[in-house]
Amino acid sequence: MHEYDTYEEVLRSNGLKNTKHRNEILDLISKSEKPMTADDIYINLKKHNVSINISTVYRILDTLVSKNIIIKSNITGDSKALYELNRQEHKHHLICSGCRKMFTVDECPLEDYEKSLSNKLDFDITGHKLEIFGYCKECKNLYKDKK
């Protein structure tokens, strides 16, 4: 399975034109294990000598979000939005309040909980976002006293 073909298919099957920029952005996001900001993407493309405008980056991201190909979020709490591939198997993140690094966890403990909530509240649950905060191995000692 060749990558280009895959991205093209993703785009086509969503009624989107198959442009170079869209392919490049999809490729970047697909290959990143962590959510990226619009600027991360812009900088990264520039670094690889791709000529693109920041507003185009935003427009492409919006389009991909609207088609549910990628997910927009804001975990770290700062002002920039984060974008990540909408992968079937979802992951959660641990965010270190010390160094702001993000760690990924695979397990998700919420399936049963969601079912019971769904019944109790008559709410049709489509997804969730879980972020866990704390201090990582390296930072826990440095920040221990600040508690």
Nearer residue to DNA within complex by CB, 67 or 110: 67
Task: Give the binding range for a second copy (CB under 8 A) out of 32-40, 41-49, 53-61, 94-102.
Answer: 94-102
Task: Based on the shown chain and the rule CB under 7 A, indicate whether residue 62 belongs to the binding site for DNA.
Answer: yes
Tell how strand 102-105 and strand 92-96 pair up: antiparallel
Say whether 39 sits in a helix, a strand or coil: helix
Smallest separation, CB 75 to a second copy (Å)? 8
Q: Exposed e or buried b for every residue in 81-102, given b needs 16+ CB within 10 A?
A: bbbbbbeeeeebbebbebeeeb
Based on its alpha-carbon atoms, the radius of gyration of the chain, rounded to whole angstroms, reads 18
Q: Which residues bind a second copy (CB under 8 A)?
A: 72-74, 77, 79, 81, 94, 96-97, 103, 105, 107, 109-110, 113-114, 117-118, 121-137, 140
